Structure formats: C-alpha cells, structure tokens
Amino acid sequence: MADQSTNTQTKILEAASRVFQRKGMEGARMQEIADEAGINKALLHYYYRSKDKLFLEVFRLAIHDFIPGIRDILFRDVPLTQKLDHFIREYMRVLLENPFVPMFIIHELQRDPDRLFQVFVEAGIDPSEILQQVERSLKDNDHRSMDPKHLMINVLSLCIFPVAGRPLLQRIMFDNDGRAYEAFLEERYQVVSNFVINALQS
Amino acid sequence: MADQSTNTQTKILEAASRVFQRKGMEGARMQEIADEAGINKALLHYYYRSKDKLFLEVFRLAIHDFIPGIRDILFRDVPLTQKLDHFIREYMRVLLENPFVPMFIIHELQRDPDRLFQVFVEAGIDPSEILQQVERSLKDNDHRSMDPKHLMINVLSLCIFPVAGRPLLQRIMFDNDGRAYEAFLEERYQVVSNFVINALQS
DNA sequence: ATTATATTTGACCAATTGGTTAAATCATGT
DNA sequence: ACATGATTTAACCAATTGGTCAAATATAAT
C-alpha cells in the first residue's frame, strides 16, 4: 500500500541519513543502510535506484532541515543583542538534534564541491540578505563596529564547532564522559550568548 | 640509497597526507596516492605494507605536526590577554598551513574512535595542564569570570571553524572568491583576538 | 664487475561492493 | 477469489580495489 510504501521510504531515508552522516558517502555501505532500515538490499535498490541518488536525497534533506528557520529569527524587528540571543538558542537546539549534519555537509562538499553546492543553490539559500540585516542592526545601536561577516562566522563557529568536534573534544577534555559533555553543551547557549554580546559592547 | 629511500618515503607520506586529508580514509585510493607521489602502486606497498598502516602514519603525523607548539605559548608568564593574542595568532598561522587537518582528525575520529584516539594518548597530549594555566590566568586579573573550558573551546572554535568550513563558507558567503576568502582569513587573527579579549572585559 | 637496493612494469588474485534479476511470498483492497 | 503492489530470498554480475608477485631494469656503493 501507499501507506506501507511511504513508511518504508522514510524508514530508508532515516536509516540512510544516520549512516551517511556518520560515515560519509564513501564510508557508507548499501548493505549497512539496508540493515539499519531493517530491510534488504534488493528493496533498498527498489526504492532508490543507486547509492548516488540516495545520497543526494539525504544531502538535500540535511540542508533543508538545517539551513532554513535561521532566516526567520534574524528578520524579527528586535535589537541586535536580542536577535543574537534568539539565534544562538535556536541554532544550538537544532544542532543538538542533528549533531552530525555540519561535519557531513562540509566533508561531502569538499569531496564534490561543484555538484553538491548546486543543492544549496536549488534551496535558494542566500546569506546576503541575512548579512544586510546584521549590518543594519550593527549600525543602529551603540556597539563596537564590526564586519558583519566576521560576526556571523564567529557566532556560527561558537555554535557549530563544539557540536561537530565532539568526538575529539569530549575525549580530550572530558575524559570521554558523555553526560558531562551533554551538560556542557546544554549550558553553552548561555555562555555563547553572553560571550558574543559582551564582545560587542563598546 | 638511504638518501633516495627516505626521499621517496617522505614523498609518499606527503602525497598520502594530501589525499587522505582531502578524501578521508575510505575515500582515498592507493592508486591515487601512488599517482600523487609520482610512483606506482607496487612501490607504494613496498614502503607501506597496507593502506591501514599508511593511514595510521599519516594520522600520527597530522597530530604531531598540529597539536604541540600550542602548549609552549600558553606557558609563558604573561597576562591572559597577551597569552590569548599570541595563541590565536600562532594557531591561525598553523591552521592556514594545514587547513584540512582539523576536519580530517574529527572525521576519522568519528569513524574509528577508540583505535585512533590511542594516537592522542601515545602523543601524550594532556589539556588538563593547559586548562589549569588558563584557569589561573583567569583568576589573577580583572576579567569576567568564565569557565576555562568554555573559553578554550570558544577560542578553538573561532580559529578552526572558518578554516575547516571553507568549502561551505567561501561559496555561500564569498561567491566562491578564493582570494577574498584568503584576505578574510588573513585579517581574522586581529578580529578574533579583539573579539575574545573584549568578551572577557568586565 | 659485482652486489645490493630501489624502482618499474604488468599481470594477477581475492575480497568487497554497487547493482541486477527472477521467482516466491506476503499483504491488502476489490 | 483475484489482482496488485510490497517484500523477501538468494543467486548472480561487473567493476573496483587492496594487495601480491616475479621478473626486468636502474642506480649506486664496494
């Protein structure tokens, strides 16, 4: 049935997302994805003809689930500090739900830049308007002057790296204590928010 | 000759580093490494018996070239702000020379955590003493109080992410203008230094 | 010249892996 | 009961890939 069909399809996509995000396109095995989805390889190819097509779909999903939503926050008419605070909280939340996505995107983009960047283009992602927003907010109030690009990348760095770098950071700085690192990430929203807002104070 | 021998060996290691760092363990092909080194596959296996052994050597090198040196800066007896400034400048310099290393380390560590983390253990990397240093410096002067772990990860994030995320950031925010992004990264040392030091001001 | 080592060449093997196929079975709605 | 599509099973194929081997050649030291 169509019900079963879409059900299996999403089961496949979710399984493929997990495997691809953890092991990358080249590291992932179709058999492993089939196992993770609880089906067999034949059915996997029955739904997605090739590894490449399946991967592209997963990559598309990762970007669509991840990139938008950010825009909305930045376009509310509130002071910059509040805007930053909202963004950091919201973005950290999304990150914690999809901790492997940033690394996944960057790694795959390095492997096949031109083709995969098309996915961004198709998704209509355009940070220039976001940058303009940040720029306007920066001029209004009495903050230190700062290149909006640097500010934006600073915020992204502070949010993304601790999540993406977890396999290294948790082991090297937290004795591989998963719970301690969870707690660290949880409290991090406040820390980053304070850090950024303070850095902007003149 | 021993001369030729070591010469070829380093040629192989450098080639393997480039290929492994860009494509990862699973994405790299022995043939590609041989080509990049200007030799053939048989000779490649003559020097390094297996892909696994070659990879492990490359991973070891990446860590040894990368992690140390940081320590030395942080142990000089200078005020925290100056220490941070030195660190950021030095670390950014190393990063620009090895832009693929952080992603490489994190990605591979995710693939095979337990085994690869051994390389860190063998290298005797221990951030606890570094953390103590930062903690002491934080208490001495009139800064905002702050968890040294968060501070350290903030600094690392601000340095590493813009370099590691280049394949995405350059395309999405700089119209894929490589020179513009170079310039952006060059001026970034000052920006990050100011940003961090300002964020710590009470 | 001889020896030893480095290097090349090209063929080759075994295992893995993406992908296919055909037939059987299961489930469901009509 | 019948038809239809979902799913399984298991065998299979072709290409890739890590790795091996043996013989030929080059290079230098002795």
Q: Name the band, by pLDDT with cuts 50, 70 and 90, for residue A185.
A: very high
Contact B26 A22 (CB under 8 A): no
For chain A, counts of helices (H) and of strands (E): 12, 0
Per-domain residue ranges of chain A: 2-59, 67-200
Asked if the C-beta of A164 comes within 8 angstroms of chain B's C-beta atoms, the answer is yes
Rounded to whole angstroms, how far apart are CA atoms B140 and A24?
Answer: 46
Least Cα distance to B173 among B159, B185, B157, B160 occurs for B185
Q: Name the band, by pLDDT with cuts 50, 70 and 90, for residue A5.
A: low
* pLDDT tens digit sequence for B152-184: 999 999 999 999 999 999 999 999 999 999 999
With 70 as the cut, is the pLDDT of residue A29 above it?
yes
Task: Count chain A–chain B contacts defined by CB atoms under 8 A.
Answer: 140
- What is the predicted pLDDT for the residue at A187? 95
Q: Name the band, by pLDDT with cuts 50, 70 and 90, for residue A3.
A: low
Asked if the C-beta of B121 comes within 8 angstroms of chain A's C-beta atoms, the answer is no
Using C1' positions and the CA of B8, the closest nucleotide is C6
Contact B106 A23 (CB under 8 A): no
Question: In B, residues 36-75, which contact A (CB 8 Å cutoff)?
Answer: none
Lowest mean pLDDT among A69-73, A168-172, B195-199: A69-73
Contact A154 B113 (CB under 8 A): no
- What is the predicted pLDDT for the residue at A129? 84
Average pLDDT value for residue range A188-195:
97
- What is the predicted pLDDT for the residue at B1? 43
Lowest mean pLDDT among A165-174, B139-148, B174-183: B139-148
* pLDDT tens digit sequence for B85-96: 999 999 999 999
Three-class DSSP category at A67: coil
- What is the predicted pLDDT for the residue at A1? 43
Closest CA–CA distance from residue A26 to any residue of chain B (Å): 5
- Which of the two residues, A123 and B59, has the higher pLDDT score? B59
- What is the predicted pLDDT for the residue at A192? 98
* DSSP for B102-146, written as a single string: HHHHHHHHHHSHHHHHHHHHHTT--HHHHHHHHHHHHHHTTBPP-
Using C1' positions and the CA of B7, the closest nucleotide is C6
Using C1' positions and the CA of A7, the closest nucleotide is D6
CA of B170 to C1' of C22 (A): 50
Contact A109 B188 (CB under 8 A): no
- What is the predicted pLDDT for the residue at B130? 84
With 70 as the cut, is the pLDDT of residue A2 above it?
no
* Buried/exposed A78-111: b ≥16 CB within 10 Å, e otherwise: eebbebbbbbbebbbebbeeebbbbbbbbbbbbb
Contact A130, B174 (CB under 8 A): no
Query: Fold for domain B2-58?
Result: Arc Repressor Mutant, subunit A (1.10.10)
With 50 as the cut, is the pLDDT of residue A16 above it?
yes
Regarding the domain with residue range A2-59, which homologous superfamily does it belong to in the CATH classification? Answer: Homeodomain-like (1.10.10.60)
HSE on the CB side for B65, CA within 13 Å?
18
Using C1' positions and the CA of A45, the closest nucleotide is C19
- What is the predicted pLDDT for the residue at A176? 96
Average pLDDT value for residue range A88-100:
93
- Which of the two residues, A146 and B5, has the higher pLDDT score? A146
Residues with CB under 7 A from strand C: A 1, 4, 28-31, 41-42, 45, 49-52; B 1-2, 4-5, 7-8, 38-43, 46-47
With 70 as the cut, is the pLDDT of residue B21 above it?
yes
Contact A27 B22 (CB under 8 A): no
* pLDDT tens digit sequence for B93-107: 999 999 999 999 999
Three-class DSSP category at A40: coil
Residue at shortest CA–C1' distance from C4 = B1
User: What average pLDDT does the structure give for chain B?
Assistant: 90
- What is the predicted pLDDT for the residue at B100? 96
Query: Fold for domain B67-200?
Result: Tetracycline Repressor; domain 2 (1.10.357)
With 70 as the cut, is the pLDDT of residue B6 above it?
no
Asked if the C-beta of B169 comes within 8 angstroms of chain A's C-beta atoms, the answer is yes
With 60 as the cut, is the pLDDT of residue B115 above it?
yes
Q: Name the band, by pLDDT with cuts 50, 70 and 90, for residue A6.
A: low
- What is the predicted pLDDT for the residue at A167? 95
Residue A50 CB in 7 A reach of strand D: no
